[in-house]
Structure 1
Amino acid sequence: MLLHGAVQTRTIWQDQFEALAGTRRLVAVDLRGHGETMLGSRRMSVEQMAADALAILDALQIRQAAICGVSLGGMVALELAERTPDRIASLILANTPTSLTSTRWLRSLVDRVDPQDLLPFAFRLFGRKRAARLGLALASRLVGPHWVGTTARRHFIDGFARMSPKAIVATYRAIVEARPVDAASIRCPILLIEGNADATSVNAQMDELGAQTPHARIETMPAGHVASLDDPAAFNRLLLRFLDRHDPPCVRTAAAIWSSPADPGRP
């Protein structure tokens, strides 16, 4: 199961589908409020998105799966592994913070500048697409010029243009409010993929997660915050090597599915 990041859609996984198709059953999900999945009436949270993903596995009668997530998708994958460890064969987490606000300076910044207040104002002032470009430019100055690669930048801007403002604000609120999982409770094999140009706070949290989990392996590749888009070939090599080593036999079937929750908007 492939879980995308914030303000993206399942289409970010096209290169992974091409690399894995014919060898495994693949399910790529539009998270709640993203792509073809409605926001629904329930409050968006990492926990709710994990419940949505679990509902998809149940609907498809998939007993156990390897979960690959990037950024927000990785946070959802961690929640799944903590909540239903028997359903998760392995985790592949790329550019995944354990909690956005566990870093002291970032917690202080979020307390001062709440995304729920800032984003609607920016959308009204600049429009969603221009606000996205300005936000990416600011982040590149703060984090580094290679934090968001060309392809990832296109997906981000397209996501801001297509998603409803309500869904965008709800998504970032969910990220801000996300709690760290209990790393000691996660027993499955984990591959952690860091980008050498990603935010140092994200990589530090991934390093800490790797130190706390007994079966974690950390790989660093030349990439920013969406490693799977910045260098798909290098990402796929790491992904395939890990899956070949840790796949349960039931995972390997020659089928591919692009999926969204069957009734995503229902409470």
Structure 2
Amino acid sequence: MTQLPSAVSVRESGTGTPLVLLHAFPLSAAMWSAQLDALPGPAGDRARVIAPDQRGFGGTGLGSEEPSLDTVADDVARLLDTAGIDRAVLGGLSMGGYVAMAFAQRHPDRLAGLLLANTKATADPEAARTNRARIAAAVLARDSVRLLLDEKMAAGQLGPASQHLVDRVEGMVAAAPPAAVAWAQRAMAARPERLDVLAGVRVPAAVVAGAEDGLIPVTEAELMAKALPDAELTVLPGVGHLSAIEAPEAFDAVALRLLERVVAAG
């Protein structure tokens, strides 16, 4: 297993059932602020919410490894080691979901539950891989992520009713280092299909989709929910790609229901 980068940034709140939340591209753990506040509960003992910045984003170093989501999944396992956690519920949104599925494949015995939001288990088609390569090359050549803002990435990630959140999301996009953006794009382009991995998941799972998600259609969520042996599918009306930001209360309700199922399953 690879080593964690020398600098690792983690946000944490609460005690109780460990819940690790993995952020979307090209954001940071700052996107989970509502969940860090709400999910532990009034007494703070309902869940131990851990939200790491993934490689290169936020306050976490990029390291020297070649781009791979498997490497990021191993980072999560090392993070659990450091936190003294044997098994955790793992939740990921978009890119975070890709990492969560890689973790489910590489560290299945450490998974207590799985939450997949606005993500997909299928591999990128050729056109998507080509576009990722274009973005990676451009941000490195310019040493700037301005391209992502010029192409209105933030607006494209949000549903029509959530455009008032553009400034917040753009702030996180603008803070992403070019090297991290390029590394993550190349890692995502190389990921395999993991529907077969989901078929082998033997813990409670939840799948969340946004009815207005313009990046990943609801049909992808349906494929994942069908593949998982014990999954509940929730489609959030009026919500785009960033469900945890756009509809935090609805997202949190799904997460809490999953935590209840995990506790009941022992």
CA distance in 1, matches of 2:261, 2:154: 40
Gaps of 5+ in 2: 1-19
Alignment of 1:180 with 2:193, yes or no, is yes
Alignment of 1:110 with 2:128, yes or no, is yes
Counting only pairs closer than 5 Å after superposition, residues 29-48 of structure 1 correspond to structure 2 as 29-48=52-71
Sort the Cα spacing of 1:122 and 1:190 in 2 relative to 1 into closer, same or farther, 3 A: same
Return the letter of the residue paired with 1:178: R
Equivalent position of 1:7 in the other structure: 26
Q: Percent identity?
A: 27
Tell me the TM-score normalised to structure 2 length.
0.80
CA distance in 2, matches of 1:11, 1:200: 21
Q: Alpha-carbon deviation of 1:135?
A: 1.9
CA distance in 2, matches of 1:108, 1:40: 28
Sort the Cα spacing of 1:145 and 1:55 in 2 relative to 1 into closer, same or farther, 3 A: closer
CA distance in 2, matches of 1:97, 1:149: 23
CA distance in 1, matches of 2:68, 2:32: 22
Return the letter of the residue paired with 2:35: Q
CA distance in 2, matches of 1:78, 1:147: 29
Pick aligned residue for 1:72 from 77, 95, 102: 95
CA distance in 2, matches of 1:109, 1:54: 32
Q: Alpha-carbon deviation of 1:228?
A: 0.4
Segment drifting more, 50-59 vs 170-179: 170-179
Sort the Cα spacing of 1:155 and 1:176 in 2 relative to 1 into closer, same or farther, 3 A: farther
Return the letter of the residue paired with 2:178: P
Number of aligned residues: 240
Pick aligned residue for 1:162 from 153, 165, 175: 175
Equivalent position of 1:254 in the other structure: none
Equivalent position of 1:257 in the other structure: none
Gaps of 5+ in 1: 102-106, 251-267
Equivalent position of 1:236 in the other structure: 252
Return the letter of the residue paired with 2:202: R
Equivalent position of 1:206 in the other structure: 221
Equivalent position of 1:256 in the other structure: none
CA distance in 2, matches of 1:86, 1:125: 42
Q: Do 2:132 and 2:186's aligned partners in 1 also have CA atoms closer than 8 Å?
A: yes
Pick aligned residue for 2:160 from 127, 132, 146: 146
CA distance in 1, matches of 2:162, 2:179: 24
Q: Alpha-carbon deviation of 1:150?
A: 3.7
Q: Do 1:90 and 1:189's aligned partners in 2 also have CA atoms closer than 8 Å?
A: yes
Pick aligned residue for 2:261 from 232, 236, 245: 245
| Post-superposition CA distance 1:126-168 (Å, at most 9, x none) | 9533x2233226984xx996397443x4454223322221211
Return the letter of the residue paired with 1:99: T
Secondary structure in 2 matching 1:37: coil
Q: Do 2:158 and 2:242's aligned partners in 1 also have CA atoms closer than 8 Å?
A: no
Tell me the TM-score normalised to structure 1 length.
0.80
Q: Do 1:147 and 1:225's aligned partners in 2 also have CA atoms closer than 8 Å?
A: no
CA distance in 1, matches of 2:30, 2:154: 26
Return the letter of the residue paired with 1:196: A
Alignment of 1:195 with 2:194, yes or no, is no
Q: Do 1:148 and 1:226's aligned partners in 2 also have CA atoms closer than 8 Å?
A: no
Sort the Cα spacing of 1:61 and 1:249 in 2 relative to 1 into closer, same or farther, 3 A: farther
Relative contact order: is structure 1 or structure 2 higher (C-alpha 8 Å, sep ≥ 6)?
A: 1
Q: Do 2:119 and 2:216's aligned partners in 1 also have CA atoms closer than 8 Å?
A: no
Q: Alpha-carbon deviation of 1:114?
A: 3.9
CA distance in 1, matches of 2:100, 2:73: 7
RMSD (Å), alpha carbons:
2.7
